[in-house]
Amino acid sequence: MFRRSRSPDAGSRLCFLNRQTGTGTGTGTGIPDDPITQQRIYGPDNLGHWDDESAADQDLEGGMKKELIAKIQRYYDRVKIIDEGFCFGLLDPVSNIVVSEAIAQTDLALALEEEEEDYSRGRRRPMLRCIFERSVDGLVAFLVALFPYLTNYRAVWYLNKADLDPLVAAGLVIKHRGMERTFGFQSDTTAAAVGMALRCAAAAAQHHDPRKFALAWKILSPSLCKINTLLSSPYAARDPGLIIDIWELLEQPEPPALVLEEAWKLASKRHGSNLNNHAEMEMQVPLLPTLRRVLLTTIHGYYLEALAWLPKDKLRGSHQYHYSLLHAGHCYGPLDPVSNIIVNTLWYAQAYPLKLEKKMEIEAISTRALLRVALRSLYGLISFLCTRHPALTPGEAMQRLQLAGAYLQKADDHDGGVEEAEAYVAAANAARHPKPLEQANFLGPSNSMLKGFSDLLEHKEPANVRPLFPAYFQSLANCKPAQETKNTNVLGPWAYNGVMRTIVNFWIEHNSAVGMAKSAIEMYNKKLQVQPSYEVHVVCGVNEYAGGCANPTKPFDATCLCSHINFLATQTAAAGTSPELFFAECSNIGSKEVLLCCPVAMPLPGTEQVRCLYCESRGRTIVHPTKESFLGRDKEFEKMLCGERQRANNEMISGSYYITLSLDNLEEDRIYGDYTCDPGLQEDVPLDDIN
């Protein structure tokens, strides 16, 4: 099978990663022709691998586990409690032991949870291990449940630095990941996450009743300063009367949510009194695969916001914005990340429109393609900084980006180094831009209009500047004709049939996701009697693998119970309103019933996340609701951390890492081509080479 013609950009797409020297052409593009300058281009092959992180962590864990158990023994020696007193909780380890013992000796009335089996009960496994080992397991589970992309090995490392203090260790994770200024320590999301982490910790430690343990800490959470005062004297932990004092506090009414103000305040004081233990950590860059995943989550949030700014008719009614966003809408440039995505998308759609003979209306952004452009944006950001500042390592560049919220102009200190234009060429090459030199020239300092937008954004809110972008690109179109590109392919019968099957499968999945999103927003409108009603703007994330197998008697049927969906929706009769982000959980079987539909907040850089086991394990970035229940939220994490699921935490992180490593040659790309069949063509051409 042979393809007689191909996209005019395909050749550059295949060769530009080999270009490591200056890329000037001497044609007045503004790109410097400097053969000495070396572009430092980074991507999936040279940015650190999961295997490197896993090996380093396992080396660390070997000696640290024994060290942790020795420390725990010293804590238990101070209180002489070895029954049900665990050293995890919301206070320091010794206080946690005393409070845990008090909780074990009290009777708390637990509300029955409808149709829920308590999978987390510790007695499902024989309690043969000592309290010290079980406490270590609980502490590790607490941190692992609280933070995505945190391996068990790395959790042990943080706990050792924090002397087994769970909230101090959590603070170290936040600080080490550069989230200290943006993390919502007292948000509803964090409160729910800490509650789940307490329950997971108790379950992993084989506590006889994890629900009771978590509920008790919730009741005590407003009184932590009082408990801390009671336990502050040197011998207070051995006073039996303290158990009675804690029982009295447990008689208080249950608060609506965990109250974390006092917990974080006390943890901050304990962290400050032990700074010497953390000094060497300040000099270390977090491991690259972890930083990469955290940055990807931040960048994904920018794409959701950009989709809300792009007009619905251009995004859905024509393939132009859709194609341009997913192939050229990168978040690097002279503006803020969201504005960069918008101007890069508009510029490429205007300058190089893709002309197709077929007509199509796309109402859903491919989840994998959206992840791919976010991933390529990240590679572009890192390559820009490392090219512009030759002494910078990739890890240092990623740390700068994390502290700056993936905002290139904040991460770049503009102090000397290589010219911006050359750095933009490196970014475009790393990001696999179809027109790398042209994009670098567009984004470079010679573009006075973008410089003007940049100056405006320094003094005005982005919401007041972004509406000006379309008029600029319209004026650009009036003075410079567009260069239409075609993607026409003549294929042999075998290749043609394969491509057609791929395209049909894409539209089946597309229509299913769009149908579920429309059903969900219709249910939301009826249930809450919303006026004016909402309608779907665009579907922007789907994980069809939530829940277990829907047909366990059919081993080759991969259909799962539910889909988790993100979509943007606007109120139909409310002029000037911005689209809002929604989450929906829909059944994949039968009539595809909508189980949940609710608005969710746009994710902000460096903030806490609502976790879902099923979405994380598939490498899907879906924004989930803070308060509502859904498949994959609590019970599934408890089961995993108790060893009841097939995939443990480390394996889940490893698997999702490789899913999100490269994402080249997606099947979804086939929809952006015109195809005809020539029965006379019999040569073999790999399907991956077909546009």
pLDDT in tens, 670-690: 998 999 998 888 665 555 566
Taking the CB of residue 64, how many other CB atoms lie within 10 A of it? 17
H helix or E strand, kind and range, residue 534: strand 534-549
- For residue 687, the one-letter residue type is L
Strands 594-599 vs 488-491: parallel, antiparallel or unpaired: unpaired
First to last CA, the chain: 14
Write out the H or E segment, with its range, that includes residue 16.
none
> How would you classify the pairing of strands 485-486 and 354-355?
parallel
Would you state the structure tokens that stand for residue 288, as one six-digit string?
């690259």
Residue 379 CA to residue 42 CA, distance in Å, equals: 6
pLDDT at 504: 95
Considering only CA atoms, which of 603, 523, 597 is closest in space to residue 565?
Answer: 597
The per-residue pLDDT for 199 is: 95
- Look at residue 163 in the predicted model and tell me its pLDDT: 93
Q: How far is CA 417 from the centre of its chain?
A: 32
Give, as one character, the DSSP assignment of residue 577: P
What is residue 25's predicted lDDT score, i.e. its pLDDT? 37
Please report the pLDDT score of residue 435 as a whole number: 95
Radius of gyration of the chain (CA): 27
Dihedral pair phi/psi, residue 539, rounded to 5°: -85, 130
Q: Cα(216)–Cα(107) distance, rounded to whole angstroms?
A: 10
What is the per-residue pLDDT for 241?
A: 76
CA angle 66, 68, 71 (to 5 degrees): 110
CA distance 166 to 117: 28
In angstroms, rounded to a whole number, what is the distance separating the alpha carbons of residues 628 and 580?
Answer: 18
User: Which ranges of the chain have pLDDT less than 70?
Assistant: 1-37, 48-63, 81-82, 109-129, 234-239, 273-286, 317-318, 416, 474-482, 555-556, 574-576, 644-647, 682-691
Q: Which residues contact 244 (CB under 8 A, 6 or more apart)?
A: none
Half-sphere exposure of 308 (CA within 13 A, CB side): 23
The pLDDT, as a whole number, for residue 336 is: 92
Residue 152 CB contacts under 8 Å (≥ 6 apart), including other chains:
61, 140, 144, 648, 649, 650
| Whole-angstrom distance, CA of residue 385 vs CA of residue 23 | 17
- Mapped onto helix, strand or coil, the DSSP state of residue 155 is helix
344 CB-near residues (< 8 Å, 6+ apart): 328, 329, 330, 331, 333, 439, 443
The pLDDT assigned to 17 comes to 38
Q: pLDDT digit string (tens) for 328-354?
A: 999 999 999 999 999 999 999 988 988
CB–CB of 352/434 below 8 Å?
yes
The closest alpha carbon to 603, from 338, 277, 210, belongs to 338
Question: In whole angstroms, what is the distance from residue 658 CA to residue 50 CA?
Answer: 8
The full DSSP string for 325-365 is HHHH--S-SSS-HHHHHHHHHHHHHHHSPEE-SS-----B-
> Measured between alpha carbons, how far is 515 from 510 in angstroms, rounded to an integer?
8
Q: In what order do the strands lie in the sheet with 580-587?
A: 534-549, 560-571, 580-587, 594-599
Task: Encode 527-538: b = buried (16+ Cβ within 10 Å), e = exposed.
Answer: eeeeeebbebbb
Question: What are the Cα distances from residue 585, in Å, to 551, 564, 651, 655?
Answer: 19, 5, 26, 24
Please state the separation of Cα 116 from the chain's center in Å: 29
Query: What six digits make up the tokens of 108?
Result: 């708390």
Question: Which residues pair with residue 587 across a beta bridge?
Answer: 562
CB atoms within 10 A of CB 180: 13
Q: Which two tokens stand for residue 181?
A: 């200024």
**Chain position carrying tokens 């043609």:** 496
**Helix or strand run (H / E) with residue 675:** strand 674-677
CB 586 within 8 A of CB 594: yes
Task: List all residues 6 or more positions away from 209 whose beta carbon is below 8 Å from its beta carbon.
Answer: 110, 121, 202
Measured over the CA atoms of residue 637, residue 639, residue 641 and residue 643, the dihedral's sign is: negative
Between the CA atoms of 468, 472, 474 and 479, what dihedral angle is there, to the nearest 10 degrees? 170
Distance (Å, whole) CA 239 – CA 46:
58
Alpha carbon 529 to its chain centroid, in Å, reads: 33
pLDDT of residue 572: 84
In the block, tokens 């918008």 appear at: 342
Q: What gap in Å lies between CA 213 and CA 201, rounded to an integer?
A: 10
In contact, 348 and 648? CB cutoff 8 Å: no
- State the Cα–Cα distance between residues 215 and 369, nearest whole angstrom: 42
Contact present, 142 and 197 (Cβ < 8 Å): yes
pTM: 0.88
